[in-house]
Each structure stands twice: as structure tokens, then as C-alpha cells.
């Protein structure tokens, strides 16, 4: 079970990464950092999904992972600095940088859903976690449908 100290370290690492990205990291370094952030975000979502399907959800896990998702959703705008669409393999479509208003709107939807999930989780509302997590997933999907390269399978 993650402790508050583990969460504090994870949050600090996320914020340091966000500041580094915002400070001008571009190209391959920004892509690598973005991919690391997205994988961590996906891992947190998966952990919550697993808890929503458990006979007795571990609310400590849900609380910790929901807080990580909320922090990531707030930092996400810094993960796509100008010029970070080239230099290495990326699934981010150029539309991210040519449609900044549309992309910002999608990010905003995620931020709202993540904040709601975190509030529900921190309140210990086990019944509310599933619907709130669904909204986060829908926000992720909405953005990926427009701004992420489609799978080639």
C-alpha cells in the first residue's frame, strides 16, 4: 500500500518533470518525458480500474492513484512544448500544435474529470469512484481520438 511519503515523492517527481518540460525541453527529450508521463498516467488509471472491480476496493490505493491522475492532468499542458513533435518516434499528431485551442479544451475536460475523481476518492466514496473514473477514461479517449496517431493494427 502506498504511503503518503511515496505519494509525496511521486508528486515531486511529476512536478520536477513538468517544470523541466516547461523550461524549454524539446524534441526527443520532451517526447521521452511525455511518454513516461503518459505511461504513469495509464498505470494509475489501471490501478483504479482494478480497484473498482475488486470485491473490496483498497481506498488507500484509489486515493493515491486518483491524486496522481489529478496532478498529471494539471501538468499535462506542459508535456507538449512547441517543437516536441519531431526528433523521435511520437504518436502525438501535429494537430496538437496547430490546434492549440482545441487541444487546450480537451485538456480542460480531463482536468475537470480528474479533479472530480480525486475529490470523490479523497472523500472515501467507493461507489462514486467508478463513474468518476469512467469520466476520466472518456476524457482520455476524447483527446486520443483527435490528437493521437491511430493504432496500425
Structure confidence at residue 88 as a pLDDT band (50, 70, 90): confident
d(CA 51, CA 33): 27
- Three-state secondary structure call for residue 142: helix
Structure confidence at residue 2 as a pLDDT band (50, 70, 90): low
Residues 104, 14, 63, 49: is their CA dihedral positive or negative? positive
d(CA 47, CA 78): 24
Q: pLDDT tens digit string along 8-41?
A: 444 444 444 444 444 556 688 899 999 999 999 9
Q: Which of 24, 8, 20 has its CA nearest to residue 71? A: 8
Q: CA–CA distance from 124 to each of 3, 58, 63, 113, 120 (Å)?
A: 16, 10, 8, 17, 7
Name which residue leads in pLDDT, 16 or 3: 3
pLDDT score, position 8:
46
Q: pLDDT tens digit string along 46-70?
A: 999 999 999 999 999 999 999 999 9
Domain architecture of the chain: domains with CATH: 4-147 (1.20.120.10)
How many H helices and E strands in the chain?
6, 0
pTM over 0.85: no
Amino acid at each position: 500500500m502506498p504511503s503518503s511519503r511515496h505519494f509525496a515523492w511521486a508528486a515531486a517527481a511529476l512536478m520536477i518533470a513538468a517544470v523541466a518540460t516547461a523550461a524549454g525541453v524539446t524534441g526527443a527529450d520532451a517526447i521521452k518525458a511525455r511518454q513516461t508521463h503518459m505511461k504513469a498516467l495509464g498505470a494509475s488509471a489501471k490501478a483504479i480500474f482494478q480497484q473498482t472491480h475488486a470485491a473490496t476496493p483498497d481506498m488507500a490505493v484509489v486515493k493515491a492513484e486518483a491524486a496522481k491522475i489529478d496532478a498529471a492532468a494539471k501538468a499535462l499542458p506542459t508535456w507538449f512544448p512547441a517543437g516536441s513533435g519531431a526528433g523521435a518516434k511520437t504518436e502525438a499528431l501535429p494537430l496538437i500544435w496547430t490546434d492549440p485551442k482545441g487541444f487546450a479544451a480537451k485538456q480542460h475536460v480531463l482536468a475537470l474529470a480528474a479533479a472530480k475523481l480525486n475529490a470523490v476518492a479523497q472523500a472515501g466514496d467507493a461507489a462514486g469512484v467508478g463513474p468518476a473514473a469512467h469520466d476520466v477514461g472518456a476524457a482520455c479517449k476524447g483527446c486520443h481520438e483527435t490528437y493521437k496517431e491511430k493504432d496500425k493494427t
